[in-house]
Amino acid sequence: MFHADYFQFELLSTRPQLLSGSSFNFPHDILSFSCCDSIGTYGVFYVDNTKSIDLAYCCASLLAASLTPNNYGQISVDLTFPQNSISVSNCHCNACSELNYTYDIDFFTNNLLQLNIGSELEYYPQILSYVKSALRRLKANPVVSDLITFVDGLNIDTNIDETVNESWEGSPNILIINVDEKASR
């Protein structure tokens, strides 16, 4: 169980179409473009039985909230993880293989690398185009440049809606992890 903001939890667990893209001009379907619930997830670090730092990971849609507020604001709720220990199961479309939750950081990492968490952006040019615009706004560094080169190399038309992408202000916070051994130097 952990504390979380209810509004954030509701967005991540129900993944609605956005009415407005906020100041970052998010695509309206940034939460809903994929069938996979692991688009909206929580990861909580904790100290496990062996006194090592571990990770509890879960799709937001499978967490239970302690209450349902009847107004919006900064409302903190308790979110509870499912009781079973380890689960790999299919997405509710019954086609994608998806990790719903785990309490083991190594199991999480392996599934992330096997693309069982989140969605493959190459099937969603609109979202990929947004990600590319966001990358271009970051301070140049080898990891970011490699990623932009990789996206360009996919040969997918990511230039749709460039004008929309140009109109947003600032730069969102982005965590990029390069897991390509060839590229890490």
| Interaction site with Zn ion (CB under 5 A) | 35, 91, 93, 96
C-beta of 31 vs 91, nearer to Zn ion: 91
C-beta of 35 vs 160, nearer to Zn ion: 35
Shortest gap between Cβ of 50 and Zn ion (angstroms)? 34
Longest CA–CA span in the chain (Å) reads 52
Structure tokens at 11: 């967005």
Q: Please, are residues 93 and 33 in contact by the beta-carbon 8 Å criterion?
A: no
- C-alpha to C-alpha distance for 8 and 49, rounded to whole angstroms: 30
Tell me the one-letter amino acid at 137: R
C-beta of 35 vs 75, nearer to Zn ion: 35
- C-alpha to C-alpha distance for 172 and 24, rounded to whole angstroms: 7
Shortest gap between Cβ of 3 and Zn ion (angstroms)? 30
Q: What are phi and psi of 23, to 5 degrees?
A: -70, -15
C-beta of 60 vs 135, nearer to Zn ion: 60
Shortest gap between Cβ of 98 and Zn ion (angstroms)? 7
- C-alpha to C-alpha distance for 56 and 75, rounded to whole angstroms: 22
The one-character DSSP state at 62 is G
- C-alpha to C-alpha distance for 89 and 102, rounded to whole angstroms: 11
Shortest gap between Cβ of 91 and Zn ion (angstroms)? 3
C-beta of 93 vs 140, nearer to Zn ion: 93
Shortest gap between Cβ of 14 and Zn ion (angstroms)? 16
Q: How far is CA 91 from the centre of its chain?
A: 15
Shortest gap between Cβ of 18 and Zn ion (angstroms)? 21
- C-alpha to C-alpha distance for 110 and 106, rounded to whole angstroms: 6
C-beta of 25 vs 116, nearer to Zn ion: 116
